[in-house]
Structure formats: structure tokens, C-alpha cells
Amino acid sequence: MAPDSLVRPFEPGTWGGRQARLRALMERRRLPFLLVTKPVNIFYLTGFRGSAGAALFDGSNGVLWVDPRYTLQARGEAQGVEVLEARTAILSSVGRWLRRHRAKVAGYDDLHVTCAERARLEKASGPSVAWRPAGGWVEELREIKDAGEKERLRQAGRLTARVFEELRGAIRPGAREADLATEIEYRLRRRGAEGVAFETIVASGPRGALPHARASAKRLEAGELVIMDLGAILGGYAADMTRTVCLGPARGRARQLYQAVLEAQAEAVEAVRAGIPAEAVDSAARLSLHRRGLEKDFRHSTGHGVGLEVHERPRLARGERKRLRADSAVTVEPGIYREGWGGIRIEDTVLVGADGAEILTPARKEDWIID
């Protein structure tokens, strides 16, 4: 089994374009400096993929501090910033730099900087620097995917769907949940994935009532429903897909319940388009299930954003009035769960467009009976 083609590098200018968008946001919100410490946000803005560092941006320049483990890597990967090696604590180096450059106000991501880290920044920068919370600014930019990001999401989605289709023959009575999860992750990597977006879920029979069940030593049995939730990371970008299958003829109301979830998912996907409130997609799924008397069995929100992280902005849930933006990516994943019986969930990652949704995880849904 040969791996899929390698992901092409981002187009030249990608990092500069993202930094320009950040600086425009900083100018609108009147913030002269912004400190970014979350590794995934540093990658988004600079291309550096290390697990530790701190990037500081002003109106025209950027500086990236790393410890000696990452100096060579940062010099090879980071774009649009000066790379400095921190011989002491990175945040202390940032604070001292701001003091030397007579900064008056600097923003920091209060969603990711701890109280202890802020105290270290304040001690190093001195009382002349006022630290202003600016949490979520980079995540706000990340919500809109550029052309390179959209292609990576498409590739991750196609890879995820392909591996699921390949694995269908191994989903049979007697197979262990944990073995199937391991095989999924192995095949994703063999096909070129950098890793998995989350711990693969395989939940059979009554265990399907646990929306986030971990794959166990339980063996699949004839007649059971099996929920499988999987996702590849490719080029740094995640996919998220769930399919539910039945081992042999569907028993009792299983066929009706599956059709209800399938229709709820289709109606929610149909609702996805730029400009509508995020809660409208959630409402479409809930109303569909409500018409069948099943809303009480739907125990989580309808979806979430996907990109460099498998859970990011926006949320598709009750009360989320923020409007969906074109070129954002979200999951649509209604499900029903009944204690002692099991569950059914169907999920796709989709790209939000002006006129509707593009499904990025094109694995079969109607063909759900495995004989």
C-alpha cells in the first residue's frame, strides 16, 4: 500500500499575508504589540512547527524567540520574523526586549497565558509596559481558510474517507474495537497522514451510547451497530468523520433510527452557508430529529470548526448567534444515544461557501449494512 502524494508547500507569501492580516487587526484595535505563545498560532503566522516559542509582532516587524532545541529548526522554517535564541526563560526574554524598546502597551493571549506566565512577563518588562488581554485574535483569523489551507483540508478529508472505505471488510463479528482503531490509525499513516486528529473511536453495541467512547477490548457481535469516528492530519490540517454501520440485518427500530439521523445530517448540511447564524445549523438538525420524537436522544452540539486543530471556531450549537463565514470549515454531526441500546452518529467535515457546503469527507453513508 503506497502512501498518497506528499502535500505541496504553501505558496510563497502565505506567511506574509497572514502577518499582514494580523497587523491590520492590531491597527483597528489600536494595539502596538501582540505576543503569541500558542504553538499552533505561531505555526499559522510563521511556519515554525516547534512545540515551544514566543512570537511578538508590531506594526511592521516580528520576532520569534525559541530555546536552543529549536534554533536550527526555526531558522529553517520561520518566515517573516527575526529568530532569536533565548538562553533564559523565553517570556523573560520577551519582557526584557519590550523594556529595551520602550514599549508602553503590549497584548497577550489571555486564553493561553497562565497567571504565572503573565507575572513573569510583568517582572521582566517592568511597570512601564501595560499588558492588555487579546485572547482569540489569531483564532479569529484562522477561522477563514486560504487556498492552501482549503486544499489541505480536502486532502485530509479524502484520505480519511478512503481509509474508512478500505477498512469496511475488517468490520465483522469477532473483531475487537481496539484492533479496528489501531488498524485505522496504521492505515492513515501508511497512506501519508502525519498522525491522527484525535484518538480513534470505535464503539459497538451498547457502548455506542457513549459519544466519546474509547475503543476497548470488546468484540463486535452480529446485529450490533458500530460507531467509528476517525480523522487524518495532513499538512498540519485535520479531518473529522463519523460513520455508523450495522453488522448484518438491522434489528428492531435500528433502520428507522438510522434513516432519521441520516436525514437530520442532510438537512443540517443543507442549512450550511455563509452568513447564517451558527445556531441555525444546530436548529436544522434538532428540528429534524424533533419531528421524529428523537430530540431528547441528541446529547451534544451539531458541530465545530476544523483546521489546524480538530476543535476550533466556530461552534454549531444552541445560542451561537455568530454568523458563519465563507471559507471556514466545520463538522456536521448529529447523533442519537440510548443507554443500554447504543448510538448512531453521522459526521462530515464541510467547507462553508456562499451558496452552501462542500463535503470534504466523501465516504458512503447510505450503504451502512455490512453483510
Q: What is the pLDDT of residue 368?
A: 97
Residue 40 has what pLDDT?
97
pLDDT over threshold 90, residue 186? yes
Left if phi > 0, otherwise alpha if psi is -120 to 50, otherwise beta: which for 279? alpha
Q: Which residues pair with 330 in a beta bridge?
A: 305, 350
The three grid cell numbers given for residue 314, joined into one nine-digit string: 466556530
pLDDT at 34: 98
Burial state string for 1-35 with b = 16 or more CB within 10 A and e = fewer than 16? eeeeeebeebeeebbeebbebbbebbeeeebebbb
Residue 4 has pLDDT above 90, yes or no: no
Q: Report the percent of the chain where pLDDT is more than 90.
A: 95
- Burial call 312-335: b when 16+ CB within 10 Å, e when fewer: bbbbbbeebeeebbebbbbbbbbb
The CATH superfamily assigned to 147-370 is Creatinase/methionine aminopeptidase superfamily (3.90.230.10)
User: All 3 cell numbers of residue 165?
Assistant: 472505505
**pLDDT digits 0-9 by tens, 107-142:** 999 999 999 999 999 999 999 999 999 999 999 999
Which residues are CB-neighbours of 269 under 8 A, at least 6 positions away?
Answer: 332, 348, 350, 357, 359
Query: How far is residue 2's CA from residue 14's CA, in Å, rounded to a whole number?
Result: 30
Tens digits of residue pLDDT in 22-34:
999 999 999 999 9
3-state secondary structure (DSSP) of residue 89: coil
**355: number of Cβ within 10 Å:** 8
Distance CA 146, CA 268 (A): 24
Q: Which of 106, 104, 97 is nearest to 124 (CA)?
A: 97
Place of cell 448529529: 334
**37-84 per-position pLDDT tens digit:** 999 999 999 999 999 999 999 999 999 999 999 999 999 999 999 999
d(CA 111, CA 334): 29
Nearest CA among 256, 174, 250, 253 for reference residue 219:
174
Instruction: State residue 8's pLDDT score.
Output: 80
Domain borders along the chain are: 14-142, 147-370
Residue 63: beta bridge partners?
A: 56, 82
Per residue in 202-217, pLDDT tens? 999 999 999 999 999 9
Average pLDDT for 232-247: 97
What pLDDT is attached to residue 1? 42
Question: With 70 as the cut, is the pLDDT of residue 6 above it?
Answer: no
Please tell me the distance from the alpha carbon of residue 338 to that of residue 328, in angstroms, as a whole number.
Answer: 32
Helices (H), the chain: 14-28, 39-46, 71-77, 90-100, 115-125, 137-142, 147-167, 177-190, 254-271, 278-290
Place of cell 457513549: 210
Q: Give the residues across from 176 on adjacent strands.
A: 219
pLDDT at 12: 80
State the architecture of 14-142 in CATH terms: 3-Layer(aba) Sandwich (3.40)
Question: Distances in Å between the alpha carbon of 236 and those of 107, 195, 257, 361?
Answer: 27, 9, 36, 17
| DSSP state letters, 283-342 | HHHHHHHHTTT-GGG--S-SEEE-SSSSSEEEEESTT--PBP-TT-EEEE--EEEETTTE
Nearest-angstrom CA–CA distance, 288 and 307: 28
Average pLDDT, the chain: 96
Span 249-297, pLDDT tens digits: 998 899 999 999 999 999 999 999 999 999 999 999 999 999 999 999 9
Alpha-carbon distance of 198 to 309, in angstroms, equals: 10
Provide the percentage of residues in the chain whose pLDDT is more than 70. 98
Provide the residue type at 49 as one letter.
R
Residue 149 reports pLDDT greater than 70: yes
